[in-house]
Amino acid sequence: MNTKYIAALMLITLGIAVLAYSGITLTTSGHAVDYLGLHLETTHSHFVPPVVGVLPLIGGIIVLLAKSRRV
């Protein structure tokens, strides 16, 4: 299979997944704090809204439908 089709299918799948789950919440590690013998770690949550899922979906469709130029 051509790499163009694989990239297009991955973008379309990512876009559909974000739209299907009504957004995705990503958690990243924050700062570690040592206080009075306790080790505390914080986390940060980042919400990816469903509208962002439209961008890879449209991009994947455009890549899939674009004609390849061969010289």
Looking at the predicted structure, is the pLDDT value of residue 52 above 80? Answer: yes
Write down the pTM of the prediction.
0.62
pLDDT category of residue 70 using cuts at 50, 70 and 90 = low
pLDDT of residue 69: 65
Q: Rounded to an integer, what distance in angstroms lies between the CA atom of residue 54 and that of residue 62?
A: 12
71 residue type, one letter: V
Sign of the Cα torsion 17, 19, 21, 23 reads positive
- Residue 38, pLDDT > 80, answer yes
Q: List the structure tokens of 51.
A: 């509208």
Residue ranges per structural domain of the chain: 3-65
